[in-house]
Amino acid sequence: MPALDANHISILDPQNPADAESLEALLRDPTVNTVDTWADQFAALAELRPAPTSDLLDEPARWVYYPWRATVLKLLGPRSYRRLRLDRNRHLATSGEQDRLGRLRIGIVGLSSGHLIAHSLAVAGFCGELRLTDFDTLGVSNLNRIPATVFDIGLNKATAAMRRIAELDPYLLVRHSSAGLSADALAPFLDGLDVLVEQCDSLEMKLHLRHGARARGIPVLMATSDRGLIDVERFDIDPTRPVFHGLLGDIDPDAMAGLPIAQKLPYLMQVFDPARVSPRMGASLLEVGRTLSAWPQLVGDVTVGAATVLEAIRRIGLDEPLASGRTQVDIGGLLGELAEPTRADPPADGALPPSPAVATGLGQVVDAAVAAAIRAPSGGNSQPWHIAATADSVVIGIDPARTSTMDVGFRGSAVAIGAAAFNARVAAAANGFATDVTYTEPAGESPLQIALRLRPGADPELARCYPGIFERETNRHRGTGAPLPPEVSETLARVAQQHDARVHVMVDHDEIARTATVFADADRIRYLTPTLHREMISELRWPGDDGSDFGIDVRSLGLDSGDLAVLPLLRRTDVVAALDDWDAGSVLGDDTSGRMRSSSAIVTVMIRGAALSDFARGGAAVVAVWMAAQDAGLAVQPMSPPFLYAHTGTELGELSGKYADELRRLQDTFHALTSKGPGEAVVLALRISDAPPASVPSRRSTAFEVSAG
Q: What is the pLDDT of residues 631-652, one digit of tens each?
A: 999 999 999 999 999 999 999 9
Q: What is the pLDDT at residue 1?
A: 55
Separation of alpha carbons 179 and 201, rounded Å: 15
Backbone torsions φ then ψ of 11, nearest 5 degrees: -105, 120
Whether the per-residue pLDDT at 159 is higher than 70: the answer is yes
CB 129 within 8 A of CB 175: yes
CA atoms within 13 A on the CB side of 591: 18
Longest dimension (CA), the chain: 111
**One-character DSSP codes across 17-66:** HHHHHHHHHHHH-TTSEEEE-HHHHHHHHHT-SSPPPHHHHTPPPEEEEE
Amino acid residing at 112? S
Burial class from Cβ neighbours inside 10 Å (0-12, 13-18, 19+) for residue 501 reads buried
Whether the per-residue pLDDT at 351 is higher than 50: the answer is no
**One-character DSSP codes across 177-198:** ESS---GGG-HHHHTT-SEEEE
SS3 content of the chain, % helix, strand, coil (to 5): 45, 15, 40
Whether the per-residue pLDDT at 275 is higher than 90: the answer is no
- Domains of the chain (ranges; CATH) run 1-85 (no CATH), 92-334 (3.40.50.720), 364-470+700-706 (3.40.109.10), 475-689 (3.40.109)
CB 145 within 8 A of CB 103: no
CB 459 within 8 A of CB 617: no
Average of per-residue pLDDT values in the chain: 92
- Percent of the chain beyond pLDDT 70? 94
Q: What is the pLDDT at residue 344?
A: 61
The pLDDT tens digits for 412-438 are 999 999 999 999 999 999 999 999 999
CB 211 within 8 A of CB 198: no
β-strands 195-198, 220-224 pairing:
parallel
Residue 704's nearest CA partner among 416, 444, 429, 396 is 396
Separation of alpha carbons 14 and 60, rounded Å: 8
Whether the per-residue pLDDT at 354 is higher than 50: the answer is no
CB 199 within 8 A of CB 120: no
> Which of 96-110, 218-232, 279-293 shows the lowest mean pLDDT across its residues?
279-293
The pLDDT tens digits for 520-551 are 999 999 999 999 999 998 888 877 666 567 87
Q: What is the pLDDT at residue 675?
A: 95
pLDDT band at 245 (very low <50, low <70, confident <90, very high): very high
- Percent of the chain beyond pLDDT 90? 78
Separation of alpha carbons 662 and 641, rounded Å: 13
Burial class from Cβ neighbours inside 10 Å (0-12, 13-18, 19+) for residue 345 reads exposed
Neighbours of 367 (CB within 10 A): 18
Whether the per-residue pLDDT at 668 is higher than 50: the answer is yes
CB 34 within 8 A of CB 97: no
Whether the per-residue pLDDT at 200 is higher than 70: the answer is yes
Whether the per-residue pLDDT at 271 is higher than 90: the answer is no
> Which of 294-298, 500-504, 519-523 shows the lowest mean pLDDT across its residues?
294-298
Separation of alpha carbons 75 and 35, rounded Å: 9
CA atoms within 13 A on the CB side of 384: 28
The pLDDT tens digits for 547-577 are 567 878 788 787 877 788 888 899 999 999 9
Q: What is the pLDDT at residue 702?
A: 66
Helix axes 530-538, 573-581, angle to 10 degrees: 150
pLDDT band at 355 (very low <50, low <70, confident <90, very high): very low
Q: What is the pTM of this model?
A: 0.81
The pLDDT tens digits for 223-232 are 998 999 999 9
Q: What is the pLDDT at residue 352?
A: 43
Separation of alpha carbons 319 and 326, rounded Å: 19
Q: What is the pLDDT at residue 154?
A: 97
The pLDDT tens digits for 75-104 are 999 999 999 999 999 999 999 999 999 999
Q: What is the pLDDT at residue 5?
A: 74
Which helix (H) or strand (E) is 12 found in, with range? strand 10-12
CB 211 within 8 A of CB 248: no
Beta bridge partners, 680, equal 608
